[in-house]
Amino acid sequence: MKISMYEASVPPFVHALENLAAILEKAAVHCEAKKVDPAVLMNSRLYPDMFPLVKQVQIAADAAKGGSGRLAQVEPPAFEDNEASFADLVARLRKTVAFLQTLKPAQFDGAEDRTCTWKTRKGEKSMQGMPYLLGHVLPNLYFHATTAYAILRHNGVEIGKGDFLGSR
């Protein structure tokens, strides 16, 4: 059985982002219950040279919308990186999911062989669709979602593997 590029991308993206939104909502409740300034968690990082939580969430959303947009050959929405609260981050994730849900499987036909090009801090990079999805987009999404999870767990938010994986 063959899996489509749509099935290999959009549903896993939606699932990961919805789980991340739920984790962020738990973090907001944690901050309120423990009287922790949410800005402390939003700006927390695992190590000084790593991005803080807020940037991890932004990059996770950008990986999903940018990756799916390139594969489907549609322009993804642009979001300002100005989230200042957990509610703002959750809204960003929900806007990303809403965009993903507008994409149709037919838009991904042939995406495995399509050249995807994107800008990096060092210039421009291109890859064929299948290795782009499997070797770049999905690992980036999961790296940043996992790092966001780890930052929150490290800071005492009561979340576990089930929160990260979610239910299907």
Low-confidence ranges of the chain (pLDDT < 50): none
> What is the torsional sign of CA 80, 86, 91, 92?
positive
CB of 123 within 8 A of CB of 17?
no
- Confidence at residue 41, expressed as pLDDT on a 0 to 100 scale: 97
CA dihedral 117, 118, 123, 124 (to 10 degrees): 0
- Confidence at residue 168, expressed as pLDDT on a 0 to 100 scale: 67
CB of 38 within 8 A of CB of 164?
no
Task: List, in sequence order, the alpha helices (H) in the chain.
Answer: 5-34, 38-42, 53-72, 86-100, 129-132, 138-154, 161-165
Token readout for 55 is 């940037």
- Confidence at residue 2, expressed as pLDDT on a 0 to 100 scale: 82
Q: pLDDT tens digits, residue range 63-92?
A: 999 999 999 999 999 999 999 999 999 999
Q: Kindly list the domain boundaries of the chain, sorted by start residue.
A: 5-165
Backbone angles phi, psi at 115, to 5 degrees: -85, 125
121 CB-contact burial (10 Å; exposed 0-12 / middle 13-18 / buried 19+): exposed
pTM of the model: 0.96
CATH fold group of domain 5-165: Four Helix Bundle (Hemerythrin (Met), subunit A) (1.20.120)
For residues 74 and 104, what is the distance between their CA atoms, to the nearest angstrom? 11
- Confidence at residue 167, expressed as pLDDT on a 0 to 100 scale: 79
57 CB-contact burial (10 Å; exposed 0-12 / middle 13-18 / buried 19+): buried
- Confidence at residue 118, expressed as pLDDT on a 0 to 100 scale: 93
